Amino acid sequence: MASVLTKRTARGALFGSLTALVLTLSGLGAPAASSADIPGKDEIAMSPNMRLVTNVPKQGPFAAASAYNSDLAFQGRYAFAGNYEGFVVYDISRPEQPEIVSQVHCPGSQNDVSVAGNLLFLSTDSSRSDDSCQSTSKPVTDPTAWEGIKIFDISDVRNPRYVKSIETECGSHTHTLLPGRRGEMYVYVSSYLPAVPSTGTGPDCREPHDKISVIKVPLKRPQAAAVVAEPVLFPDGGNPGDGLPYPEVTRATSGCHDLTTYPDKDLMAGACMGDGVLFDVSDPEEPRIVDIVRDDENFSFWHSATFNNDADKIVFTDELGGGGTATCNATIGPNKGADAIYDIVGKGRKAKLVFRSYYKIPRANADTENCVAHNGSLIPVKGKDIMVQAWYQGGISVWDFTDSRNPKEIGWFERGPFGDTLSPLGGSWSAYYYNGYIYSNDIQKGLDVLKIEDRRTDKAEKIRMDELNVHMQPDYFD
C-alpha cells in the first residue's frame, strides 16, 4: 500500500519575497559570459522577459538532497511531479499559489511519471526487494529483485491508489505513452545499459539489450495490463561506440534512454544512447525504423527528443557526462552537451533526418554546476518553433528554432551554484510549458513556476490543454 501524505496549504514563497534576485541582461543570443557573470551561490538571474512566479520547496520524505525531483505530467488543474522517493500532486489552478494535494511515498529511481485518464504510470529503474511502496534496495544479481512500471488510480488525487505493477526486463528508466485504437494505452518502456554484463551472474537485463518493452493497458481494466511485445529495435547491434573513457566516449547503443511519440502523425523519435532514430508507430506493437543518425564527433549520449509541431524537425539532446558534470563552459565548448536540430526531409518510408545545427545555452557555468541539455517542451506558437528546456544547474532556456540552421535564445532563468562541489546533483530536471506558465521540477529546490512575457510567445497563452505528457506530443493546432 502506498503511503500518502496530505498537505493542503503548502505554498512557496512568492516572487516578491525573493531577496536574492539578480537581473542579468547579457546572454540573449550573446557569446558565453565570463565567470565574473556567474550568479553567486543560490542567487537568481534571469532575462528581463522572464519572471519567477513562485517556488514550492521539497517537503517531508522528499526533502533530502538524495531525493531528486524528476519528470512532470499535467492533467486539468493538477501537476504530477516525480521524485526518487515517489511522486507529488500539486493543485496549480492558481499558478501563483500552488498547493500540495498529496505526496505518495514510493521509493525507486527515477520515478518518471505520466498520466492518462484516471491512471498514473511510474517508472522504477532501481533493483528493489519487491514491487511494493515499502520495498528496499536489493542487488540486481538477486533473481527475486523487481524493477518496472507501477500503475496508480488517481481518480481521487488526495488519495492515489496503487493498483498494478508490471515487471520489465532491465526495469523502466523512462516510459512513453501511445494511445491504442480500442480504448487501451500502450506504455513504451525504455531501459538501457544492463547493470550486469553478459559475463556476470544477473538473471535479467543481459547484453545485448537492443529492445524496448511494450505494455498494453486496458484503461478501464488496468489490472489486466501486461507486456505484449519486446521488439528488437537494433538487430545489427546499433552504434558500437568508440571505446574511449566516459564521459568523452560515444556510447554504444544498448537500449533507448527516451522515446517521444507523436500519435497524430504515427511517429516516434528515439534517443538511444549512440543513435538518434525516427520510427513509424502505426502498428504500436511493432515500431518500425524509418531512419537512424549518429554524431560520433560531438554527441556522447542521445538522451531525449522533441518534435516541432509540424513534425518536420526533431531536437535531440546530448546528456554528456550523464548530467552530473560541468559541461557548460569554455573547456567543453558549444557543440558538446548540446541540442542537435534535425530536419525531417521527405515523407513516409523515404523520410531522412538531416542535421542542421547545434544549440547550447550561451552562458558560462561554474565548474561546481552540473549542466547539460535536458528535458523540455514546445511553447505552442503557431508558425513558430519555440521550446523551453531544462539544463540542470544551467537553468531554463527559452529558444527559437524556427530557422533550424540558426537557433537563438529568447529568454532564460537560472540560479547560481547549489553547493561548493558537483555533489549533490542540482538544477532543473524538467521544464515544461502548460496553459500559460512554465513549470520546472528542480532537483533540489522543488517546484518552480515561471512566466515568460514576450510578444514572440504571448499567443501561446490561448492554447489550453486538458492533459499533457510531454513525451506523448499533441498537435497543438489540430
* Mean pLDDT, rounded, for 318-332: 94
Q: How far is CA 134 from the centre of its chain?
A: 26
Determine what percent of the chain is predicted with pLDDT higher than 70.
Answer: 90
How many angstroms separate the first and last alpha carbons of the chain? 41
pLDDT tens digits along 12-28? 332 222 222 333 323 33
How far is residue 313's CA from residue 356's CA, in Å, rounded to a whole number? 10
Q: How many alpha carbons lie under 13 Å from residue 360 in its C-beta half-sphere?
A: 25
Looking at residue 205, what is its pLDDT? Answer: 79
Q: How many alpha carbons lie under 13 Å from residue 240 in its C-beta half-sphere?
A: 3
Write down the number of H helices and E strands in the chain. Answer: 0, 33
How far is residue 130's CA from residue 429's CA, in Å, rounded to a whole number? 27
pLDDT at 198 over 70: no
Q: Closest by alpha carbon to 466, among 176, 96, 179, 77?
A: 77
Q: Closest by alpha carbon to 228, among 170, 275, 287?
A: 287
Looking at residue 195, what is its pLDDT? Answer: 58
Please tell me what DSSP assigns to residue 37.
Answer: G
Using the structure block, give the residue that is written with the C-alpha cell 502548460.
Answer: 434
φ, ψ for residue 60, nearest 5 deg: 60, -135
How far is residue 132's CA from residue 139's CA, in Å, rounded to a whole number? 16
Instruction: Report residue 288's pLDDT band, with 50, 70 and 90 as the boundaries.
Output: very high
Cell of 203: 538473471
Contact between residue 73 and residue 80 where contact means Cβ atoms under 8 Å apart: yes
Q: Which residues pair with 124 in a beta bridge?
A: 110, 148
Looking at residue 8, what is its pLDDT? Answer: 30
Looking at residue 204, what is its pLDDT? Answer: 73
Looking at residue 3, what is its pLDDT? Answer: 41
Q: CATH second-level architecture of 3-468?
A: 7 Propeller (2.130)
Q: Rounded to 5 degrees, what angle do the CA atoms 231, 235, 238 make?
A: 110
pLDDT tens digits along 355-386? 999 999 999 999 999 999 999 999 999 999 99
Contact between residue 377 and residue 433 where contact means Cβ atoms under 8 Å apart: yes
Looking at residue 4, what is its pLDDT? Answer: 44
Using the structure block, give the residue that is written with the C-alpha cell 530557422.
Answer: 403
Instruction: Outline where 288-358 has alpha helix (H).
Output: none
**Lowest pLDDT segment from 190-194, 309-313, 360-364, 366-370:** 190-194
Instruction: Report residue 246's pLDDT band, with 50, 70 and 90 as the boundaries.
Output: low
Cell of 294: 549518429
pLDDT tens digits along 37-55? 899 998 999 999 999 999 9
Q: Provide the residue count of the chain.
A: 478
Prediction pTM value: 0.92
Q: How far is CA 7 from the centre of its chain?
A: 26
pLDDT tens digits along 95-109? 999 999 999 999 999
Sheet strands side by side (includes 352-359): 302-307, 313-318, 339-345, 352-359
Ordered by start, the domain boundaries in the chain are 3-468
Q: Is 240 exposed, middle or buried (0-12, 13-18, 19+ CB in 10 A)?
A: exposed
Q: Is 61 exposed, middle or buried (0-12, 13-18, 19+ CB in 10 A)?
A: middle
How far is residue 227's CA from residue 229's CA, in Å, rounded to a whole number? 6
How far is residue 121's CA from residue 150's CA, in Å, rounded to a whole number? 6
Looking at residue 180, what is its pLDDT? Answer: 97
How far is residue 427's CA from residue 424's CA, in Å, rounded to a whole number? 10
- 3-state helix, strand, coil split of the chain in percent (to 5) is 5, 45, 50
Cell of 83: 521524485
Report which residue type is found at 246: Y
Mean per-residue pLDDT over the chain, rounded: 90
